Amino acid sequence: IDFGFFELRWYSLAYILGILLGWLYALKIIQKTNIDQNHKAITTKMFDDLIVYLIIGIIIGGRLGYVFFYDYKYYIQNISEIVKIWNGGMSFHGGLLGTIAAIYIFAKRNKVNFFHYSDIIACAAPIGLFLGRIANFINGELFGKVSSAPWAIVFPTGNNIARHPSQIYEALLEGVVLFLLINFFAVRKKLLSKPGYVSSLFLIFYSIFRFFIEFTREPDAHIGLVLFNLSMGQLISVIVFFVGIFLWKSKKNV
């Protein structure tokens, strides 16, 4: 939607809705589980205070993650382009690092447990992931490799060749399936009472889904495959997977 002085794009709308819906769901989780932190229940007011930190962390982290992980050579020569996020270029893994930094700063300032908040956010994050991938699909970007599958799609910028709708694969696995899995363990198995477990499971499952879906996704043209015939997204996912395993083991041994 072009207002002349301002454009509302699908990807921007996905970010806005993802944050709002994730926020509402996180508040619902807090009210339902009544998480206890040092004999003091975490309130919805505490989480409301965290939201501003999260928005800043997601945007700055997502943008800088894309700059450093995916197109460093271009942006180091065109530094003014870094702030132009409306032209596209956001990284999930960068947003993840930005979110972690935001929670850490908030937890440090308010003397609260980092993992109580990261676990709650892990429960809500798949909502934003789902909407983000749907926006990618609508924009016809980040599409998959050439495919003869009956559900293959011809994207406007895909050289008129039928391709895997990899954005839909990611929306389903990283959005719907991940949401159901994480919330099953968090709520039904009551792992929110054990700080850090839900966060570790989020990192593990997301990394597994992302790694295998990347085999159907067309690599970034300016990067291609990086190492061992793996994409940049896959390599970063391997690192995040082992971080998740390390976190899970460390919490298990406590």
Q: Is 251 exposed, middle or buried (0-12, 13-18, 19+ CB in 10 A)?
A: middle
Residue 121: CA count within 13 A, CB half-sphere:
27
Q: What is the pLDDT of residue 2?
A: 72
Q: What is the pLDDT of residue 134?
A: 94
Q: Is 153 helix (H, G, I), strand (E, B) or coil?
A: strand
Q: Residue-wise pLDDT tens for the chain (254 aa)?
A: 777 766 777 778 888 999 999 999 999 998 887 654 443 557 788 889 999 999 999 999 999 999 988 888 889 998 988 888 766 788 889 999 999 999 999 999 988 889 999 999 999 999 999 999 999 999 888 899 999 999 999 999 889 999 999 999 999 999 999 999 999 999 888 888 888 999 999 999 999 999 999 999 998 877 888 888 899 999 999 999 999 999 999 977 65
Q: What is the pLDDT of residue 254?
A: 58
> 170 CB contacts (<8 Å, ≥6 apart)?
129, 133, 136, 209, 210, 213
**In whole angstroms, what is the distance from residue 238 CA to residue 130 CA?**
21
3 state SS for 37-63 = ECCEECCHHHHHHHHHHHHHHHHHHHH
Q: Are 164 and 152 in contact (CB under 8 A)?
A: yes
* Beta carbons within 10 angstroms of residue 32's beta carbon: 10
* Residue that has been written with the tokens 């011809």 in this structure: 154
- SS3 breakdown of the chain: % helix, strand, coil, rounded to 5? 70, 5, 25
Q: Report how far Cα 220 is from the mean position of its chain's Cα atoms.
A: 18
Closest CA to 252 of 195, 192, 207: 195
Tokens linked to 21: 């819906």
Q: What is the pLDDT of residue 144?
A: 94
Closest CA to 196 of 207, 185, 188: 185
Tokens linked to 102: 């935001």
Give me the phi and psi of 6, to 5 degrees please.
-155, 135
Q: Report how far Cα 161 is from the mean position of its chain's Cα atoms.
A: 29
Tokens linked to 225: 């495959």
Q: What number of H helices and E strands is found in the chain?
A: 9, 4
Closest CA to 177 of 216, 126, 222: 126
